[in-house]
């Protein structure tokens, strides 16, 4: 198939590029991979229940049936110790400055998951609502969007998996 061929071409190209790189760069790339590997396996998330989604995503994923701990996704209570922010629910205009402040309190590198329709664009509260902010990305950068109202816990776990892939895809230390 064409796709496979393209992928093969891409791999060969990357391989050629790597050969052309000076040794120091290879070392850096490998170090970056190592660090990213560490980052992806210790995503500590901040417990931050805004609305409905909090019950079915953030309270559930660390429970027995779903057990996000096995992916190194552990619950922390404070933004200072967290890498991952789960925006679970509707953001109102009154809450928006606090969300922004909490995001800024997190240490780099930091990632954001927008859980549910409300965090994507305001969801069911898009129309006729005078206080709801139409999406988390209006105030903070979002890495992965999870659709659903609310998303199933499996969807949240899948999103975390996507985020881990995204972290590994980052080449260098940044």
Partner 1 sequence: MSKLEEMKISNHNLSELEKDLALNGEVESTEDIVTEELAIHFGPQHPSAHGVFHAIFHVKGEVVTKIEPDIGYLHRCFEKIAENRTYTQFIPYTDRMDYVASMTNNWAYCMAVEKLAGIEVPERAEYIRVIVGELQRIASHLVFLSTAGSEAGALTPFVYFFDEREGILTLYEKICGARLTYNYIRIGGVRADAPEGWLDDTLAFVTRLKKRMYDYDRLVLGNYIFKKRFIGVAPFSAEQALDWGLTGPPLRSTGVSYDVRRSDPYSVYPRLEFDVVVKYKGDNYDRACIRSDEIKQSIRIIEQAIEQIPEGPVKADGIAKVFKPAAGEGYGHVESPKGDLGFYVVSDGTTKPYRVKIQGPSFGNLQALPAMSEGTYIGDVVLTLGTLDPVFGEVDR
Partner 2 sequence: MSDENIMNQGNSEEISAGIKIVEEKGIGYTLTVEREDLFKAASALKEAGFDLFLFVSGIDYPESIKLTYRVYSSKRQNKLAVMLKTEVPKSDPTVDSLVPLWSAANWHERETYDLYGVIFKGHPDLRRIFLPQDWVGYPLRKDYSDDHMTVMDDGKKDKDKAAAKDKPAAAAPKESAEKQDAPEQPSDIADANEVSTNGSDKNE
Nearer to partner 2, 7 or 101 (CB): 101
CB of 54 to partner 2, least distance (A): 17
CB of 64 to partner 2, least distance (A): 23
Q: Which of 63, 69, 161, 172 binds partner 1 (CB under 8 A)?
A: 63
Q: Which of 93, 104, 138, 171 binds partner 2 (CB under 8 A)?
A: 93
Q: Half-sphere exposure of 118 toward its Cβ, with a 13 Å CA cutoff? A: 21
Nearer to partner 2, 41 or 93 (CB): 93
Q: Is the Cβ–Cβ distance between 159 and 144 less than 8 Å?
A: yes
From CA 83, how far away is CA 65, in angstroms rounded? 24
From CA 125, how far away is CA 51, in angstroms rounded? 12
Q: Is the Cβ–Cβ distance between 85 and 106 less than 8 Å?
A: yes
For position 70 contacting partner 1 by CB under 8 A, the verdict is: no
CB of 31 to partner 1, least distance (A): 35
Q: How far is CA 108 from CA 19, 105, 129, in A?
A: 32, 9, 34
CB of 90 to partner 1, least distance (A): 6
Q: Which of 59, 71, 102, 155 binds partner 2 (CB under 8 A)?
A: 155
Sign of the torsion angle spanned by Cα atoms 167, 103, 84, 60: negative
From CA 35, how far away is CA 7, in angstroms rounded? 26
Q: Using CB under 8 A as the criterion, which residues of the chain lie in contact with partner 2 when the complex forms?
A: 93-94, 117, 120-121, 123-124, 126-131, 134, 147-149, 151-152, 155
């Amino acid at each position: 198939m064409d796709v496979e061929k393209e992928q093969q071409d891409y791999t060969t190209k990357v391989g050629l590029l790597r050969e052309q790189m000076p040794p120091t760069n290879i070392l850096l790339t490998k170090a970056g991979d190592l660090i990213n590997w560490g980052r992806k396996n210790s995503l500590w998330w901040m417990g931050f229940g805004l609305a409905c989604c909090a019950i079915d995503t953030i309270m559930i994923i660390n429970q027995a049936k779903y057990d996000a701990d096995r992916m190194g996704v552990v619950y922390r209570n404070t933004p200072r110790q967290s890498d991952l922010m789960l925006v679970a629910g509707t953001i109102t205009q009154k809450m928006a400055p606090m969300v922004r402040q909490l995001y800024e309190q997190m240490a780099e590198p930091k990632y954001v998951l927008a859980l549910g329709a409300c965090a994507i664009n305001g969801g069911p509260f898009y129309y006729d609502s005078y206080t709801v902010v139409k999406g988390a990305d209006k105030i903070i950068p979002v890495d992965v969007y999870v659709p659903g109202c609310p998303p199933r816990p499996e969807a949240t776990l899948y999103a975390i998996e996507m985020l881990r892939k995204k972290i590994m895809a980052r080449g260098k230390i940044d």
